[in-house]
Amino acid sequence: MSKIIIANWKGHPAIEAEAVDLARASDFSGMVICPPKQFLKTVSRVLKNAVLGAQDYAPDIYGLGCRYVIIGHSDRRRLGDTNALVAEKMACAVSDGLTPILCVGETAEQRACGKTESVITEQLRIGLSKIQTLVRGEGKGEIFVAYEPVWAISVEPGASPDTAFHAAARIAFLKKQVLQYSSWKWEMGNGKFLYGGSITSANAHSFLTPIDIDGLLVGAASVQPIEIQKIWQLTQHPENNH
Ligand code: PGA
């Protein structure tokens, strides 16, 4: 199974012509490109191999060409998205036929207090709680979960990536939890589990190697064409595909 890369452009680039250039430079199969909302339509016309994603749920994104959507990113949680709101967005995304990418992750303070497992379990449990079935909508019936420790996201002061070993252990933990907390039947084919936080072309290989990590959610490095191309190339290596 080849591994997937989600490119979260966040607020970049500033102008449409740059968004077109960046989309062309990142247009590989196995990539999901999540541009700022104002560029969704334009980028959807450019992509031939990559698939379009949105950075947050909105009722119009499927019609704009999105097939994936990031939900519960720490940027949104900081702006007020509660676990309950995340759950609503997850359910709407599934019934629209989108594949939602549910982000979970603990802050530096929660980590320091030893609360990582309880925080990510709660985010996962509530985030999935309003999804009744995966067969509604026209989607492929998939849900992705991204483990993104907040302290590892590159814009956080003093951020550094998790270790691949630790990230894989957290993801293995989340896989067990998901079986417990989904009311519908979760089958391995329904889900992918990703890591995100300070991924670069220099460290991506170590995160792509563990069998439990199905792909990466990449922020800052995804708006640098050479970086994102190198990261994508790593997913093509047979030893990274289990
Ligand atoms: P980063 O961002 O790769 O710049 O750390 C990841 C994210 O915020 O999704």
**Span 47-85, pLDDT tens digits:** 999 999 999 999 999 999 999 999 999 999 999 999 999
Ligand 1 binding pocket (C-beta < 6 A) is 8, 148, 153-154, 196-199, 217-221
Threshold 0.85, pTM exceeds? yes
> Which atom of ligand 1 has the smallest separation from the CA of 198?
5
Between the CA of 73 and the centroid of ligand 1 the distance, in Å, is 10
Between the CA of 136 and the centroid of ligand 1 the distance, in Å, is 31
CA distances from 116 to 100, 129, 138, 171 (A): 22, 20, 35, 12
Between the CA of 185 and the centroid of ligand 1 the distance, in Å, is 31
| Gap between the Cα atoms of 195 and 198, Å rounded | 10
Residues designated catalytic: 73, 148
What is the Cα 76 distance to its own chain's centre? 13
Ranges of the chain with pLDDT below 70:
1, 133-140, 182-189, 238, 240-242
